[in-house]
Amino acid sequence: MRKRFTLVVIVVLLLVAAAGTVFWLARPGDGPVAIDGYRRPGSDDRRLTVRFTLGVGDTITLARFEERPDAVVVAVRTRAPSGNGPDVGLPYELTATLYAPLGTRRVVDARTGDPLPELTP
C-alpha cells in the first residue's frame, strides 16, 4: 500500500512539473518572429544581417543561424512583456558571422520555410 501511495505522489509531482514547464515555455506572447529579409553588411561574405520587427518591451529569447550546405536557416523568437503596452513595432536588425561564406546559399526563414528576400542597405 505504501509503495502505491509513493508511486502516485511521484506521478502527480511529475505531471505538475511537466505542466509548469509547458506553461513557462508557451506563454502568451512567446513565439517566432516574421523576418522581413536579409542583407550582407560590408564586403565580408561571412556576415549576415536579418531585419525584423519587435514590439515595445519584447525580449529576444532565441536567435539561431543554422548553416546547411545549400542554405542558412534563420530563426528568431521573442517574448512579449506581460500586461498591456503600446502596440508599436520597432525595426530591429541582428547580425551574425557565419562559419563559411554565404556564397550562393539561400537564406531561409525557419518559421515558414520560405527563402528570404535580400534587402538593400
pLDDT bin (cut points 50, 70, 90) of residue 9 is: very low
Its sign, for the CA torsion 94, 98, 104, 106, is negative
Residue 11 located in a structural domain:
no
Give the chain's domain count: 1
pLDDT at 31 over 80: yes
Would you say residue 42 lies in a domain? yes
- Please write the tens of the pLDDT for every residue from 42-80: 888 999 999 999 888 888 999 999 999 999 999 999 988
CA angle (71 as vertex; 68, 75 as ends), nearest 5: 90
| 5 domain residue, yes or no | no
pLDDT in tens, 85-120: 677 788 999 999 999 999 999 999 999 999 999 998
Q: Give, in order, the Cα–Cα distances in Å from 17 to each of 4, 7, 13, 79.
A: 20, 15, 6, 21
Q: Work out the number of other CB atoms within 10 angstroms of the CB of residue 35.
A: 23
| Domain contains 115 | no
**Which domain, by its residues, includes 104?**
30-109
pTM summary value: 0.72
